[in-house]
Amino acid sequence: MKVTVVGAGLVGCLLTCYLARRGHEVTLYERRADPRRAGAERGRSINLALSERGLDALRRVGLDQRVLEGALPMPGRMMHAVDGGLTFQHYSADGRRAINSISRGDLNGILLDAAEAMPGVEVRFDHRLTGLDENTGRLTFETASGPVEVDKAQVVLGADGAFSAVRTHMQWRPGFDFSQSYLDYGYKELTIPARDGDYAFDPGALHIWPRGSSMMIALPNPGGSFTCTLFWPKSGPGSFADLDTPVKVKEHFTRHYPDAYAVMPDLLDDYEHNPVGHLVTVRCSPWHIAGSETVVGLVGDAAHAIVPFYGQGANCGFEDCVELDRCLGEKGDDFAAALALFEQRRKRNADTIADLALDNFIEMRDRVASKAFLARTKVEHALERALPGRYMSRYELVSFSTVPYADIQPRINRQRTGVAAAAAGVLAAGALAVRSLVRSRR
Amino acid sequence: MKVTVVGAGLVGCLLTCYLARRGHEVTLYERRADPRRAGAERGRSINLALSERGLDALRRVGLDQRVLEGALPMPGRMMHAVDGGLTFQHYSADGRRAINSISRGDLNGILLDAAEAMPGVEVRFDHRLTGLDENTGRLTFETASGPVEVDKAQVVLGADGAFSAVRTHMQWRPGFDFSQSYLDYGYKELTIPARDGDYAFDPGALHIWPRGSSMMIALPNPGGSFTCTLFWPKSGPGSFADLDTPVKVKEHFTRHYPDAYAVMPDLLDDYEHNPVGHLVTVRCSPWHIAGSETVVGLVGDAAHAIVPFYGQGANCGFEDCVELDRCLGEKGDDFAAALALFEQRRKRNADTIADLALDNFIEMRDRVASKAFLARTKVEHALERALPGRYMSRYELVSFSTVPYADIQPRINRQRTGVAAAAAGVLAAGALAVRSLVRSRR
C-alpha cells in the first residue's frame, strides 16, 4: 500500500520504520524544516524520559542501542528541599532499573535517519497539510513554492501531534467526539550549565524541587548540563504572570530554589527569553474514518495528547506503533480493519495514561516531599523484594513493564488483595502458634 | 459601540434587539440566505417548546405576545403506549402552565423583523465568517461575490450555533478548553398531516411514544398537523442504519407505533428523504477573549450547545441575552468586563442544563412510561398544591421559572429537607396525640 504519514516527529518517524518494514511505500510529510539542519527552537529542547514501553518499541526495529548511546540512565528521583537537603529514591525495588534522559532533538534525528534509510520511504519537509478529503482522496499541502496536491491517497496516518491538522479535518465529521483541556499551569525551560565539564548535581537522577503548588525538575544531558523545567501556575501568586521582572524572579529563586539558583548563571536571560509552554490533554473518538477513497487514522499525540508528568507521552506514542503493527499483521494489512482494532484495544489505555499523568503532577509537585510518600515507597519496595515478580508498584508497572496501562490498576488491586490475604495468613498462623503454645503450657 | 453579531438565528436576532436598545450600532451577519425568503430545509423545521425563560426574554423587549400568537400551548405530555393507550400528565400542579409549540422558522422570522426594525441595525445575509483576528480587528467573510473584509471590529459576538465559526477561530488560542460530544442517537423529522383541517391527536399536549431505548415525539402546528421527531440509535437493532428499506420501516412502525402509523400517510417518503440529524453537546471555556483591537465573545449554542430533551436550547440562549444585557448595564457597556461577568455567572448554569438535558432523554424515552414515574409526579403535584410556592418539581423550576439552572438542585434538596421535616413534625404530632390519648384512657 501507499501510505501517507503526516508529521515527522518521534511517532511519525518510528511508525514509518514499522510500515516500511511491512513492505508499504511511505511518504512522510513534515510542516517544519528538517530539524537535523534547523535545530531546536529556543527553550523547546524538551528532554524525554525514555522507559520500557518506548525502548521495547525501538528494540523491535533494532534502534534501542543506538538511542541509548546518547541517553543518561536515571535510576531514581532526587528531591531538593528548600534548605538544600537531598533525598534520593530508587524507582525500582532492586535499584537497577532506570528511565533514560534523552533530548527530543537527538532522538528525532536518529529516527529520521532510520526512516529515511528504509526502502520505499520518502520524506518531504516544509509541507503543511491544509486539505484532506477522504472521499476524493485528495490532500493539499502548503509549501514555500505554493500549494501541492496529492491525488488518490489510500491511507493517511496523522502523527502530527497535539494540534494535529489531520484531526482538525476529522473534527467536523458528525459523530466525532473531541476534547482539549488545558491545565492552569505553564512550563518554561531553563538550563544548569556544566561547570568545567562536570555536573552541578548527581547526573544519575531525575531532580525534583517539589514546592506544593508548583515545582521545577531537571534532567541531565551528556556533557555536564541539566535541562530544567519550571511547572508554575499561569496566574496568581508565584505564577509566570506574577514573576515578571528580573528582581522578582531572582528573589523568588533565592527563596524557593536556592541550591539551583547558585548554579544557574543564565537564569534571568533564560527566564526572559524562553517561552511559556502550555499543558494540554486531548481526547477524541473515533481515531479513524473510512471515506470512499481514503482511510484516515490518528496515532500518538494526535489521538491522545497527555501532560508530561508521568514521562509517558513519547513512550505511549511508540507503543502505539507496536500495537498498530500488530493489528496490521492480524488483519493482513487491511488498514481500515487494523485501525478499528487498534482503537478498540488502545483507546482505553490512552485514556488511562492521560488520567495517571494528570494525577502524577500532584504527586510530583507535592506528595513526593512528604514523609508518608517516602514511607509508602519503602514499604512497596520491601514488598517487591519479598514477592519478586508478584508485587510491582504502579510507577514500575507504568515505566518498567509493557502491561497495558488500563490493566495496571486492576493488577494493583489484585496484588493488594494478595498481600492482605498473605498478611491474614501470617496473622492466622501466628494465632495458631500462640494457641498451641498456650495449650502446651497448660 | 459598533458591534458585530455573527449568526442571525434565534439568539443572534434577539441579542441584536437587546444591543440596539442599549444604543449600540449592530451589524448582523448570517452565512445563509434570508430564511424569510428561502424557507426551511426539508426535515429541518424543528419545532421548539418555548417556556418561561424564553418568554421572559421576549417579554422584556415586547415580543412575547407576537410570538405567542403563532404558538400552541402544551400544558402536559401525552404518553402513547404500544396498544394505543393514552396517559396524559399535566406539567404543572395547577394544570394551567404550558410550554408552547412554535416552529423555529416562524420564530426566527419574527425576531429578524424585530431586529431589522431597530435603529442602527444592519443585517447582511450570505456572509460566511472565514477570518477573525482579535489583534488586528480584521474580519473576513466569504460571499457570493468573493471575500469581504471588515476592519477595526471593536466587538464581535458569536451567536452562530453549535458549529460556531467564531468559536473555531478561538479554539487554537492556548488555554481554550473545548469539548464536543455526540450521542449515539440521531433524529429524523416526520409529519402527521391535518385530517380535513383537524388534529389526529389532542393538540394540547406534547406527544411521546416512549419505547425504552428509543422514542418518537410530536408537537402540534397551527392548522392541524404535527411535526414528529424520531430519536433512534444510529446503529444496532431498531436503528436508522438497521431500518433501511420501506418494508422494514413499515414493519417497525406497525409494530411499535401503530396509532401514529395509521395517521402518517407520508411516512415512507419522509423517512427516505429527510436527513438524520446529530445530537451534540458542546462545552468550552473561556467564552470570551480580548485582543488588542477586538473583544470576542460567545453566546447561545456557540458557547454551550445542548441536546433537545429538556426543550431548553433556545430558552437558555434567550436567557443568555437577558443576562448579557444585565452585565452590560452593570459594567457601563464595557464589553470586555461585561463578557467576563457574563461567563462567571452563566457558565455554571449552562453546564447544569447540559447535564439535565442529557439525563432527560432517559426519562422521556423510558421512565415516563413507568408507573413509578406517574406516581412520583402525582405525589409531587400534591405537594405543590399543599405547599404553594414552597414546593416545585424540577420540571417546573426548569420550564416555568427563571431560577438559575444551577440553583435548581440545591433548591430541590432544601425542599426535600423541608418536606421531610414537615413529615417528621406530622409524625411527632401524631405520636404525641396517641400518647395523650393513651394517658387519658389510663
pLDDT tens for each residue of A216-228? 999 999 999 999 9
From the list B171, B174, B177, the residue facing A181 with the nearest CB is B177
User: CB neighbours of B190 closer than 8 A, spacing ≥ 6?
Assistant: B216, B227, B228, B229, B230, B264, B266, B267, B270, B271, B274
Q: What average pLDDT score do residues B143-170 get?
A: 95
Rg over alpha carbons for chain B, rounded to the nearest Å, is 24
Cβ distance of A174 and B182 shorter than 8 Å: yes
Cβ distance of B181 and A179 shorter than 8 Å: yes
CB-CB contact of B138 with B151 (8 Å): yes
Searching chain B, which residue's CA lies closest to the CA of residue A175? B182
Whether residue A359 has pLDDT greater than 90: yes
Give the β-pairing of B226-233 and B177-192.
antiparallel
- For the residues of A362-402, what is the DSSP string, one character each? HHHHTGGGSHHHHHHHHHHHHHHHHSTTT---HHHHHHS--
* Per-residue cell: B438: 393513651
Cβ distance of A180 and B181 shorter than 8 Å: no
Q: At which residue does the C-alpha cell 496473622 appear? A: A427
Measured in whole angstroms, how far is the alpha carbon of residue B368 from the centre of its chain?
A: 20
- For the residues of B188-224, what is the DSSP string, one character each? EEEEE--BTTB-SS-SSSEEEEE-SS-EEEEEE-TTS
Distances (CA, A) of B240 to B184, B278, B364: 11, 12, 19
Q: At which residue does the C-alpha cell 496529492 appear? A: A150
Q: At which residue does the C-alpha cell 400568537 appear? A: B69
State the Cα–Cα distance between residues B326 and B107, nearest whole angstrom. 24
Cβ distance of A179 and B176 shorter than 8 Å: no
The full set of domain ranges for chain B reads 2-72+102-179+283-363, 181-278, 371-441
In B, residues 127-156, which contact A (CB 8 Å cutoff)? none
ipTM of the complex: 0.85
From the list A175, A181, A234, the residue facing B182 with the nearest CB is A175
From the list B163, B175, B178, the residue facing A278 with the nearest CB is B175
- For the residues of A54-73, what is the DSSP string, one character each? HHHHHHTTT-HHHHHHT-EE
Give the orientation angle of helix A313-330 with respect to helix A335-365, to 10 degrees. 160
Q: Give residue B200's pLDDT.
A: 97
Which helix (H) or strand (E) segment is A168 a member of? Answer: helix A165-171
State the Cα–Cα distance between residues A409 and A231, nearest whole angstrom. 27
Q: What share of chain A has pLDDT > 70, as a percent?
A: 98
Cis link prior to A286 (omega < 30° from 0)? yes
State the Cα–Cα distance between residues A396 and A98, nearest whole angstrom. 10
Q: Give residue B383's pLDDT.
A: 86
Q: What average pLDDT score do residues A301-311 get?
A: 97
Phi, psi for residue A79 in degrees, rounded to 5: -95, 130
For the domain with range A2-73+97-180+280-363, which CATH number is right: 3.40.50.2000, 3.30.930.10, 3.50.50.60, 3.40.1130.10? 3.50.50.60
Cβ distance of B176 and A178 shorter than 8 Å: no
Q: Give residue A423's pLDDT.
A: 74
Q: Give residue A371's pLDDT.
A: 87
Chain B contact present for A234, CB below 8 A: yes
CB-CB contact of A120 with A26 (8 Å): yes
Q: Give residue B45's pLDDT.
A: 66
Q: HSE on the CB side for A63, CA within 13 Å?
A: 26
How confident is residue A264, by pLDDT bands cut at 50, 70 and 90?
Answer: very high
Helix, coil or strand: residue B16: helix
State the Cα–Cα distance between residues A409 and A325, nearest whole angstrom. 26
Encode pLDDT of A376-397 as tens digits.
Answer: 888 888 888 888 878 899 999 9
Q: At which residue does the C-alpha cell 503526516 appear? A: A6
Cβ distance of B177 and A182 shorter than 8 Å: yes
Helix, coil or strand: residue B5: strand
CB pairs under 8 A between A and B: 36
Searching chain A, which residue's CA lies closest to the CA of residue B285? A181
Q: HSE on the CB side for A277, CA within 13 Å?
A: 19
Helix, coil or strand: residue A199: coil
Q: Give residue B40's pLDDT.
A: 66
Q: How high does pLDDT run on average in chain B?
A: 94
Cβ distance of A180 and B176 shorter than 8 Å: yes
Whether residue B419 has pLDDT greater than 90: no
Chain A contact present for B275, CB below 8 A: no
Helix, coil or strand: residue A103: strand
Which chain B residues are closer than 8 Å to A177 by Cβ? Answer: 179-182
Q: Give residue A120's pLDDT.
A: 97
Other CB atoms within 10 Å distance of the CB of residue B291: 16
Helix, coil or strand: residue B33: coil
State the Cα–Cα distance between residues B166 and B139, nearest whole angstrom. 10
Q: Give residue B388's pLDDT.
A: 82
CATH topology of domain B2-72+102-179+283-363: FAD/NAD(P)-binding domain (3.50.50)
State the Cα–Cα distance between residues B438 and B157, nearest whole angstrom. 73
CB-CB contact of B249 with B168 (8 Å): no
Q: Give residue A442's pLDDT.
A: 63
Which chain A residues are closer than 8 Å to B234 by Cβ? Answer: 175
Q: At which residue does the C-alpha cell 511508540 appear? A: A318
Exposed/middle/buried for residue A68 (C-beta within 10 Å: 0-12, 13-18, 19+): middle
Chain B nearest-CA distance from A234, in A, is 10
* Per-residue cell: A186: 505553564
Cβ distance of A182 and B163 shorter than 8 Å: no
CB-CB contact of B116 with B123 (8 Å): yes
Other CB atoms within 10 Å distance of the CB of residue A285: 17
Q: Which amino acid is at B267?
A: L
Q: At which residue does the C-alpha cell 525534583 appear? A: A208
How confident is residue A433, by pLDDT bands cut at 50, 70 and 90?
Answer: confident
State the Cα–Cα distance between residues A339 and A325, nearest whole angstrom. 10
Cβ distance of A178 and B178 shorter than 8 Å: yes
Cβ distance of A163 and B172 shorter than 8 Å: yes
CB-CB contact of A399 with A99 (8 Å): yes
* Per-residue cell: A151: 491525488
Pick from A46-60, A152-166, B316-330, B364-378: least confident: B364-378
How confident is residue B28, by pLDDT bands cut at 50, 70 and 90?
Answer: very high
Q: Give residue A437's pLDDT.
A: 73
Helix, coil or strand: residue B40: coil
Q: Which residues pair with A87 in a beta bridge?
A: A79
Chain B contact present for A83, CB below 8 A: no
Exposed/middle/buried for residue A201 (C-beta within 10 Å: 0-12, 13-18, 19+): middle
Q: At which residue does the C-alpha cell 417579554 appear? A: B59
User: CB neighbours of B148 closer than 8 A, spacing ≥ 6?
Assistant: B127, B140, B141, B142
DSSP state letter for B402: -
How confident is residue A366, by pLDDT bands cut at 50, 70 and 90?
Answer: confident
Q: Give residue B337's pLDDT.
A: 98
Interface test with B, best of A163, A170, A182, A276 (most B CBs within 10 A): A182
Beta strands in B106-159 (DSSP E): 121-124, 128-133, 138-143, 146-150, 155-158
User: CB neighbours of A203 closer than 8 A, spacing ≥ 6?
Assistant: A72, A220, A224, A226
Cβ distance of B180 and A182 shorter than 8 Å: no
Chain A contact present for B234, CB below 8 A: yes
Cβ distance of B180 and A175 shorter than 8 Å: no
- Pick from B170, B26, B50: nearest CA to B110: B50
Q: At which residue does the C-alpha cell 534509510 appear? A: A117
* Per-residue cell: A270: 533564560
Q: How high does pLDDT run on average in chain A?
A: 94
Chain B contact present for A292, CB below 8 A: no
Whether residue A40 has pLDDT greater than 80: no
Searching chain A, which residue's CA lies closest to the CA of residue B182? A175
Helix, coil or strand: residue B233: strand
- Pick from A106, A113, A160, A105: nearest CA to A132: A160
Sign of CA dihedral A43, A50, A358, A288: positive
From the list A174, A177, A180, the residue facing B177 with the nearest CB is A180
Q: Which amino acid is at A397?
A: L
